[in-house]
Structure 1
């Protein structure tokens, strides 16, 4: 005969009864909490928040002012503008509806386009992800776009077709291109004046005459363009006033046979020290006033030749170098630009040789009234700060037979971790009393601050 299971012990029966009692108590407590929760929810729904009583039209107007500081304000900042629309749309359902029905707040957009969705990428995120806006919402208001930053992931015809020919107010466009061509999506933008193009993941020419309304552009910035594209931009933009090229690639085959004359160009930045000579040898810029270069010692003759050929009157000159320049090289450099009033240089250029040159020869840069030194480099420790101070003082109050103007402002940015002696900083500070504007971003030794906290 099969064996019977043992009867339950009295202990198990007692524990079962205890659990039943605890369950009934917990259920009763849960019922109390549910009832209290319903009561609280009912009270919350009965509360009328003041902001909910504001008409949607007024809230929409507040959104517009929040975005731009007021309708058509000139004080927009890129970092602020890129985050505001989606911050407003993610607060609540009512605000999202108001945001999506207020075209003015979509005038300033930062976005990444692909064939499925329009992803805005503001600083504000929810649950660790960037909010996603349906493409049709943004495309619906593309006729309101004024300032737009777009990462163009592909060339989906349906996507780009939603904005093509519908950009009557677009004034500033920043676009990153991943393919070999942009097409003519942005070719019809009658108010476009400011263009920034970055080419990513391509070694071929990315630009064509139909990409943008080139002839009306005033400002252009290009990064990672081929040398052929750089000069095509210059040929297609007769009214260009400000231009920046950085990180270009290619060889000299794309250079024009004769120097390209651009009389309207006032500001030029060439941020590739190895090949900027190609540009200077291929350009004539009679109206140039602001020039920014990374220069090497062997390129100074090309620089001087460019200045003399252009017969331009430079006012502002920013130069960077990775090596020290000799006294003779600096003499040739500054003799070519006697009209310069402001310089922004690296320590390799603002060396002891240059300081002595400015101190000893008053005819060098006679109109100089502003000096800035970017010491955030490995050669900042070689500067003779006392000699620099003596030079500034000597040109702060010009003599009767001295230069027609004096240095009125000086700025210095030191390398991280490089300490400047406290007495030097104090001497710079004392020059403020003599009506010279001093701006210094320096590191002061901790022990000096402890011993002289009144600095």
Structure 2
């Protein structure tokens, strides 16, 4: 008797209720896009398993429909309808995807597709979430005949939904009945018009919104019309020729923004966000003064912040960094991104990393000294361009001075409670550098992707602390 048969016989001794829980655990380990195929595979093992799988509604609350289903013939729509019916009265999560460019367009067998769309539309009042990664004509047909989306909490549109849209027509993806999701992700440029104009979305219950691009006016309108919005991620693709009133939002906690130098000043001069905790900036500019004014006006308790500079070692950037961090003492997570890493030994003193090291040292003449960013626990430093050639600045030689850890032969411990450091874009550390980091790793410091390398060196060196 094979091992598989023996294992199946052991499982058959369990009551159906226990088997259902085991199957739920197994399916729950799958990615959302593969849960349907996993349930089908379980049902194919034997008749007993098939009956249990088909009679367990929890196994059919995630329905993944691939392009091969959409393009198939015959029983495909019937199969999808059967999957949905097995969920009984439970809400469902729907994933519709097309992985190849050749299937953006409607298949020649449009009759089969229409049947599938109709069956999905009949179940729209059961949708808890839906993710579209498919051509827009499919969604358009679904929008026009759906039965409403009363329970929808999450909706996502991939970039494919926009590429095939006829003439980028506003309202082409607009649902027949207005709905109020809690989370919305749009991976394409929001055309002229509000969320209501484009998708028929009400923003009154929106808590999380991500849009690839939108102009300043619509960005501010979304914030103003979304009273419970907590997270917004977008890129600004157009400014405004008119003066904009300041929008005050007392709930927004996370603002991740990519804006060109022409627009970022307008964005931050028009916002007051007193509850903001996460501010990630994806733009390069001549001055951070609009950000400084925004922080002074809002007085937000920011705990996570990302800066983007052109060149590490620029004195003006360092001054801006010092000014802003002096206004944000609650930061615990700091992400520094540079287009170019430090490449000249002459401007090491203007490096942000060198400043963090020096300002974190205790002062013998001032026992009450507290450093800037006194609560910093996690630091990430990345650079897009790293210098090559004879000279490489020894970043890793400075890293040990960042931590509040005292080791044999190490520099004086920092006053900051830093527990994690990630250096992406650094030159490769030497074996000597890695050995210097071993005692810090043993003390619990997290070096991200370098952990495995440091742990391996520790074993090879038989490090005992």
What's the TM-score, normalizing by structure 1? 0.67
CA distance in 1, matches of 2:138, 2:67: 28
How far did residue 212 of structure 1 move?
A: 0.8
Q: 2:202 aligns with which of 207, 213, 222?
A: 213
3-state secondary structure, aligned to 1:296? coil
* Unpaired segments ≥5 residues, structure 1: 1-48, 69-79, 112-119
CA distance in 2, matches of 1:299, 1:343: 19
Q: 1:257-295: CA deviations, max 9, x gaps?
A: x32101100000002343323211111100000111024
* Unpaired segments ≥5 residues, structure 2: 1-42, 343-347, 361-370, 407-411
Of structures 1 and 2, the larger Rg is shown by 1
**TM alignment of 1:38-437, pairs within 5 A:** 51=45, 53-54=47-48, 58-61=52-55, 64-65=58-59, 98-103=82-87, 107-111=92-96, 120-121=97-98, 134-150=116-132, 151=134, 153-154=136-137, 159-163=142-146, 166-175=148-157, 176-177=161-162, 178=165, 179-182=168-171, 185=175, 188-190=178-180, 192-199=181-188, 204-205=192-193, 207-208=195-196, 211-246=200-235, 248-253=236-241, 256=244, 258-274=245-261, 275-324=263-312, 325-326=314-315, 327-347=318-338, 352=348, 353-362=351-360, 363-375=371-383, 377-379=384-386, 384-393=394-403, 395-396=404-405, 405-414=416-425, 419-437=428-446
3-state secondary structure, aligned to 1:215? coil
Asked if 2 retains the 8 angstrom alpha-carbon contact of 1:103 and 1:144, the reply is no
CA distance in 1, matches of 2:321, 2:393: 16
CA distance in 2, matches of 1:102, 1:406: 52
Q: 1:167-226: CA deviations, max 9, x gaps?
A: 122110113454343375275335x200112445x8644644682121110011111223
Asked if 1 retains the 8 angstrom alpha-carbon contact of 2:128 and 2:152, the reply is yes
- Compared CA separation, residues 380 and 95, structure 1 to 2 (3 A): farther
RMSD: 4.4
- Compared CA separation, residues 296 and 347, structure 1 to 2 (3 A): closer
Q: 1:322-380: CA deviations, max 9, x gaps?
A: 333423233223222222111112246986421221222232211111112234x1047
3-state secondary structure, aligned to 1:420? coil
3-state secondary structure, aligned to 1:322? strand
CA distance in 2, matches of 1:371, 1:81: 39
What's the TM-score, normalizing by structure 2? 0.66
3-state secondary structure, aligned to 2:293? helix
**TM alignment of 1:23-42, pairs within 5 A:** none
Aligned residue pairs total 367
Asked if 1 retains the 8 angstrom alpha-carbon contact of 2:333 and 2:378, the reply is yes
3-state secondary structure, aligned to 2:286? helix
Asked if 1 retains the 8 angstrom alpha-carbon contact of 2:57 and 2:87, the reply is no
Asked if 2 retains the 8 angstrom alpha-carbon contact of 1:428 and 1:438, the reply is no
How far did residue 67 of structure 1 move?
A: 6.3
CA distance in 2, matches of 1:356, 1:50: 61
Match in the other structure for 2:4: none
3-state secondary structure, aligned to 1:253? coil
Q: Which moved more, 1:220-229 or 1:299-308?
A: 220-229
How far did residue 453 of structure 1 move?
A: 10
- Compared CA separation, residues 225 and 328, structure 1 to 2 (3 A): closer
Asked if 1 retains the 8 angstrom alpha-carbon contact of 2:305 and 2:334, the reply is yes
Asked if 1 retains the 8 angstrom alpha-carbon contact of 2:60 and 2:86, the reply is no
Q: 1:9-59: CA deviations, max 9, x gaps?
A: xxxxxxxxxxxxxxxxxxxxxxxxxxxxxxxxxxxxxxxx98452386522
